[in-house]
Amino acid sequence: MEFKTREEFEKHIKKTVITADEIKLRIAEAGRYIDSIYSGRPLLLVSILKGAFVFLADIARAVTVPCEVCFMEAKSYYESTESSGDVKITMDLDRDIKDCDVVIVEDIIDTGRTLADVVRILRSRGPHSLRVVTLLDKPERRVAEMKADMALFTIPDLFVIGYGLDYGEYFRNLPYIAEYSE
C-alpha cells in the first residue's frame, strides 16, 4: 500500500477511538504506577517494535526512576488486519537481562500470542522481575492466556491505527488512536 496524497491517507481513518489528550493523561498515570513499584530501583524498559516505540518514548519520559531502554521486534501481522498466528522474533535484545527488573512496554494485546511468546522467552532469561504495561488491551480477541499488569485502555474488537500502530507500515505518526477503514 502506498499513498500518493493526504486525502488517500485520511480516507482510511474511520473515527478517533482515543484522543491524544486521553493518551497523555493515562501515560502520566502509568509513569506513577511504574515509579511506585520500583521506588528508585533501576529498571529496563523493553519495547516491542515497531508498534510500541511511540508509547515507549512517552513512558520513558513519564517515569522518574533510573531506566535503560532495549528493543525487541516480534511480528504476527503482515499487511493484513488479521493476525497471521505465526509469531516471529525478528530482532532480539542486545543485552543480558538476568537479575534485571524488566517492564515490557507493548502497544496492543490482541490475541495474546505474540506477547505470550515474548514473555516466555524473557522469563527464561532470569530477570529479577518482569511486568507488562500495554497501551491497548483487546480482550475479546484473546486466544492465548495473557494479561498485562497495567493496560491503559481496553478497546472493543476494532482494527486500530495511530500512536505507533500501523496498517502496512502507515499511520504510525497519528498522535491519537483511530479505527482503520479499508
Query: Which helix H or strand E contains 27, and what residues bound it?
Result: helix 20-38
Average pLDDT value for residue range 81-93: 72
pLDDT at 163 over 60: yes
Could you read off the pLDDT of 59-78 as tens digits, one per residue? 999 999 999 999 999 876 54
Q: Share the mean pLDDT of the chain.
A: 91
b/e per residue 45-69 (b: at least 16 CB within 10 A): bbbbbbbbbbbbbbbbebbebebee
Domain annotation for the chain: domains and CATH numbers: 14-72+99-180 (3.40.50.2020)
Could you read off the pLDDT of 144-156 as tens digits, one per residue? 999 999 999 999 9
CA–CA separation, 51 vs 43, rounded Å?
21
Question: Global pTM?
Answer: 0.89
In the three-class reduction of DSSP (H, G, I as helix; E, B as strand; rest coil), residue 18 is classed as: strand
Average pLDDT value for residue range 89-114: 94
Q: Radius of gyration over alpha carbons of the chain, in Å?
A: 16
**C-alpha cell of 27?**
501515560
CB 147 within 8 A of CB 166: no
So which residues are the catalytic ones? 110
Could you read off the pLDDT of 24-47 as tens digits, one per residue? 999 999 999 999 999 878 899 999
Q: Measuring CA to CA, which residue among 39, 42, 16, 48 is closest to residue 153?
A: 16
**79 compared with 95, residue with greater pLDDT:** 95
